[in-house]
């Protein structure tokens, strides 16, 4: 299974309404500005969702995703699992199926307030699932606590490419996601049309 775990700030809906849905966690910039680029990750824009997570480098190492080479500029049909810190644990808040993950940030899409936002993941809105708060209980480990290859390290991305992750964590997460599909709270039939 092609999979990528991304760590983002914690929000309820990720549709850009920071006056009602204040981003929590996510670092000093988010705390200072009470804003986050990932606030739009589950907004349906013309039938698509566009995902963002903070990257300290100039590219995403998509070659670590199964079946992707160093020459590829994008990875297709990836399950992108969005995680955030809640009560001191990193939990799954939602995911994109059949997503395209780009090596470099893509040109901005326009948000409802007319601002451009960079993204590196896109998927059809029908393939995007945001869980309600009470269903955000599945924890993803931290390598510093659980050991190398068992969860997020210092980056906001975990490729789950260790043998342990491939044999144990990824199958368990895949099974969990299947059981949660009917709990989706994002509205796929109400697109923001540009």
CB distance 92 to 135 below 8 Å: no
Count of Cβ atoms closer than 10 Å to residue 137 Cβ = 13
Structure tokens at 93: 């808040």
pLDDT at 115: 63
Q: How confident is the model over 101-124, as a mean pLDDT?
A: 82
pLDDT-derived band at 79 (thresholds 50, 70, 90) equals very high
Length of the chain in terms of residues written: 194
8-state DSSP, 60: -
Could you tell me which residue, 189 or 166, shows the higher pLDDT? 166
- Report the C-alpha gap between 169 and 175 in whole angstroms: 10
Q: What is the pTM of this model?
A: 0.92
Q: In the prediction, which pLDDT does 8 show?
A: 96
Band the pLDDT of 7: cuts 50, 70, 90. Answer: very high
| Mean per-residue pLDDT, 13-41 | 81
């Amino acid at each position: 299974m092609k999979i990528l775990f991304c760590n983002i700030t914690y929000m309820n809906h990720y549709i850009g309404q920071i006056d009602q849905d204040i981003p929590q966690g996510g670092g000093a910039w988010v705390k200072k500005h009470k804003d986050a680029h990932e606030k739009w990750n589950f907004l349906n824009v013309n039938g698509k969702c566009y995902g963002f997570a903070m990257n300290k480098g100039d590219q995403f190492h998509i070659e670590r995703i199964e079946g992707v080479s160093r020459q590829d500029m994008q990875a297709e049909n990836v399950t992108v699992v969005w995680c955030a810190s809640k009560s001191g644990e990193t939990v799954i808040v939602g995911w994109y199926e059949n997503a395209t993950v780009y090596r470099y940030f893509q040109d901005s899409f326009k948000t409802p307030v007319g601002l451009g936002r960079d993204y590196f993941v896109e998927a059809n809105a029908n393939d995007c699932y945001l869980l309600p708060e009470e269903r955000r209980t599945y924890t993803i480990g931290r390598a510093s606590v659980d050991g190398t290859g068992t969860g997020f390290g210092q980056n906001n991305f975990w490729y789950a490419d260790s043998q342990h992750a491939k044999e144990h964590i990824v199958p368990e997460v895949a099974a969990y996601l299947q059981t949660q599909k009917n709990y989706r709270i994002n509205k796929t039939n109400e697109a923001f049309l540009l």
